Structure 1
């Protein structure tokens, strides 16, 4: 049982690479299959943490692994989507560059301050993941996205700014910090309440 969370994390990695492969070989009915695999990948992301906490085996190492694999998974999906829908990326290159730059900056700030990658798993980041998922599904299906992409961009940018703020506020590296408010409490040496199901 204790290996289930790790298996789910690595399954997500395999799913991401599979989506890239399917896009490269122009697999028949690619959009439908890619959306199914993306959905399964998202579910593994939801349940790996829940199961780990249920089994009382959630650790810093596991949370860092989870964060790292999340990055590789969504980068893989983005690459696959670019292969299938290059015009969407060309038409939105500025906003995508800003969003990618903001994401990279969160890691740069964390490495400079703590010599570790981020693993805050904030509430805002979880909300953004759902918008990112919905946006990717729309692009996979139609090679375009309007309002949903705008929401994804702005929510993504705001949550990256919050994460940078959290890293700057925290005195020591900490995983599973719900919001910047909780980061401020931790800096003051106060205990914070985490949701047993979704955080910590």
Structure 2
């Protein structure tokens, strides 16, 4: 039972690479199969933490691994989507560069300050993940996205700014920090309340 969270986390690696293979091979019904795998991947991301906390085995190492593999998973999905829909990426190149740069920046700042990658698992980041999921689904089906992509872009940038603020506020590296408010309380040496299901 205690290996279930780890299995769920690592399964996203195989799911992400599987989606890339489907894209490279131009498999029939690519959109249906890739969206199904993307959905399964998202569900493993939701339940690995919940199960780990239920089993009382949630740890810093596990949360860092979760964050790292999340990055690989969504990059894999982005690569496969690019293979299928290159024109969408060309039309939105500058916006995507800005978004990816914001993501890279929070990792860079975290490494400079704490010598560790981020694992804040903030509420805003969780909301953005759902919007990103919906946007990727739309692109996979139609090879275009306007309203959802714009929403994804701006919510993504806002949540990256929030995470950057959390990193700068914290005195020491901490995983599972829901909001800036919680980061301020931690900086003040106060206890914070976390949701038992979603935030450690």
- Shorter-chain-normalised TM-score: which range? over 0.9
Q: Deviations over 1:142-180 (max 9, x none)?
A: 000010000000000000000000000000000000001
Give the total of aligned pairs.
200
Equivalent residue for 2:188? Answer: 188
Equivalent residue for 1:79? Answer: 79
Q: What is the CA distance between 1:51 and its match in structure 2?
A: 0.2
Equivalent residue for 2:5? Answer: 5
CA–CA distance in structure 2, aligned partners of residues 32 and 97 of structure 1: 28
Equivalent residue for 1:116? Answer: 116
CA–CA distance in structure 2, aligned partners of residues 123 and 95 of structure 1: 23
Equivalent residue for 2:19? Answer: 19
Equivalent residue for 2:172? Answer: 172
Q: How does 1:20-99 map to 2 (within 5 A)?
A: 20-99=20-99
CA–CA distance in structure 1, aligned partners of residues 184 and 81 of structure 2: 38
SS in 2 for 1:7: helix
SS in 2 for 1:120: coil
Equivalent residue for 1:130? Answer: 130
Q: What is the CA distance between 1:17 and its match in structure 2?
A: 0.4
SS in 1 for 2:76: helix
Q: What is the CA distance between 1:55 and its match in structure 2?
A: 0.2
SS in 2 for 1:136: helix
Q: What is the CA distance between 1:108 and its match in structure 2?
A: 0.1
What is the RMSD computed on CA atoms of the aligned residues? 0.3
Structure 2: runs of 5+ lacking an equivalent: none
Q: Deviations over 1:23-56 (max 9, x none)?
A: 0011111011000000000000000000000000
CA–CA distance in structure 2, aligned partners of residues 74 and 180 of structure 1: 25
Q: What is the CA distance between 1:96 and its match in structure 2?
A: 0.5
Q: Deviations over 1:42-83 (max 9, x none)?
A: 000000000000000000000000000000000000000000
CA–CA distance in structure 2, aligned partners of residues 116 and 106 of structure 1: 11
TM-score (norm 2): 1.00
Runs of 4+ in 1 over 6 A off after TM superposition: none
